[in-house]
Chains A and B, each alone.
Chain A
Amino acid sequence: MTDDPVIEATGLGVRYSRRGGWALRDCSFGLPAHRVCALVGPNGAGKSTLLALAAGLLRPTEGAISAPPREETAYVGQDKPLYPQLTVDETLRMGRELNPGRWDAKSAARIVQEGGLDGGARIRSLSGGQRTRVALALALGKRPRLLLLDEPMADLDPLARHRLMGALMADAAENGTSVVMSSHIVAELEGACDHLLLVDGGRVRLSGPVDDVVAAHRLISGPATALADLAPHTVVESRTTGRLLTALARPNGPLDTDTWQTAHPSLEELLLAHLRSPDAPALAVGPRSAEAVRA
């Protein structure tokens, strides 16, 4: 297992029209191979744009992105394009014929069977969740090196979500597939993803292994009068309630434990604090950290 990036972006920017604003700007990051990366951010942050760039469906306006070639990449967009008049079996046969030499009929069939889908059912008669399952079967059957999923679980019930996530993780375990999945529901990704990319306002705010990014932060509480003590640290967000100060910060050295109580934030607390504070400096953890992010 190597840490070579499967996707690498430098100074990436996208503008959909000459007069429009930038959907993405100044994005530089590397995603290591064989990881499951959570691409998170609020609506309109640029997540789908980033995935479309990685899939080679969109060209950057500026900068560059390197990713595996089309035939080694599977992309499942939010709208999950399938032919409504085909049956499930016909759709899988199409997958086989479009991917000669690399189609994994067994994996594809398993994903469909686990959902209890009837092979003879037409796509148009399926529910949203069932269509998602077929789209994922099509994507996994391709045996991709890189799997890009845009809001894959949005229309699934909790049980179907758990099962499909389990199927995805099993594929990652067995084939070492690199996965990038976007979501604005953090709880859905926590536990399943080991790498994080937070995009907000078209920029990369946080990038790195989930454990390292979380470990770089502390929830701090203490007397409001001691606020000046936090100056050497990178404070992402701070709030004062009466005499109590609470903050989320990246300590740049030891914190005085007589003054401050500290705790490790959850991934969700960490992300929310960053989203509430758009001006907080960006953080990139990893081999490329020095030049990876220009805040």
Chain B
Amino acid sequence: MLEYRIDRRSGMATYLQIVHQTKQALRLGLLEPGDKLPTAREVVEATAINPNTVLKAYRELEREGLVEARRGLGTFVRRSLGGAPADSPLREELADWARRASAAGMERDDVAALFTAVLDQHFKGDDT
């Protein structure tokens, strides 16, 4: 069962943290089609966040076609996010790139800043 980790100081809206963590689990294959997401009750009991926040996150995931709510049963994964599984060539290339960045003397923060800048340049509209 997926457990959400809510960081109140991250500056990212709480429902988006749930959306992102669910997608992350889908990408990494930790969640597969047919798997059940925790109920709103289970999430809020563990995290002490507002139930409407969880429902908002699940609605967003449903809108994106990733999960479906089955009346009285719960929310289930419909499809996985196959972008780049953990062992894809893209990951290896990125790992190779990270090694070269490190060898070139870049610090973790420099790498993160550069990566974010390139990410922002190529992927627009993912508002947080």
Instruction: Tell whether A and B belong to one assembly.
Output: yes
Q: What residues make up the interface of A, taking CB atoms closer than 8 Å to B?
A: 34-36, 162-163, 165-167, 169-170, 172-174, 187, 190-194, 211, 266
- Contact residue range for chain B? 10 to 19
**Are A192 and B49 neighbours in the complex by a CB distance under 8 Å?**
yes
On whether the beta carbons of B49 and A170 are closer than 8 Å, the reply is no
Q: Give the interface segment out of B21-29, B50-58, B100-108.
A: B50-58
For residue A166, which residues in chain B have a CB less than 8 angstroms away from its CB? 44-48
* A-B CB contact pairs (8 Å), 7 listed: A36-B52, A166-B44, A166-B47, A166-B48, A169-B50, A191-B49, A194-B52
Instruction: Compute how far the CA of A235 lies from the CA of B18 in the bound complex, rounded to whole angstroms.
Output: 33
Among residues of B, the one whose C-beta sits closest to the C-beta of A163 is B48
Q: Which applies to chain B's interface (DSSP): helix, strand, loop or mixed?
A: helix
- Chain A facing B: main interface SS: helix
**A-facing residues in B48-79 (Cβ within 8 Å):** 48-54
Q: Is the CB of B48 within 8 A of A191?
A: yes
Q: Which chain B residues numbered 81 to 111 have a C-beta less than 8 Å away from chain A?
A: none
Min CB gap A85→B, angstroms: 33
* Chain A contacts for B51, CB-based, 8 A: 36, 169, 172-173
Question: B residues within 8 Å of A by Cβ?
Answer: 6, 8, 11, 13-14, 39-41, 44-54
Q: In the complex, are the beta carbons of A170 and B53 less than 8 A apart?
A: no
Closest 4 CB pairs of A and B: A169-B44, A173-B51, A165-B48, A170-B45
Are A174's CB and B53's CB within 8 A?
Answer: no
| A278 to B39 alpha-carbon distance, docked (Å) | 42
On chain B, the residues within 8 Å of A194 by CB distance are: 50, 52-53
B8 engages A187 (CB within 8 Å) = yes
How many Å lie between the Cα of A248 and that of B51 in the bound state? 29
Give 4 A-B pairs besides A162-B48, A173-B51, A211-B13 with Cβ atoms closer than 8 angstroms: A35-B52, A36-B51, A165-B48, A191-B6
What's the Cα separation between A163 and B45 when bound, in Å? 7
CA distance A74 to B6 in the complex (A): 29
Q: How far is the CA of A191 from the CA of B8 in the complex (A)?
A: 7
Closest chain B residue to A174, Cβ basis: B41
CA distance A163 to B48 in the complex (A): 7
How near does chain B come to A236, taking the closest CB pair, in angstroms? Answer: 20
By a CB distance below 8 angstroms, the chain B residues around A162 are 48
Q: Is the CB of A193 within 8 A of B45?
A: no
B8 near A169 (CB under 8 angstroms)? no
Min C-beta distance of B40 to chain A, whole Å: 5
List residues of chain B with CB within 8 A of the CB of A170: 41, 44-45
- In angstroms, Cα B45 to Cα A35, docked, is 16
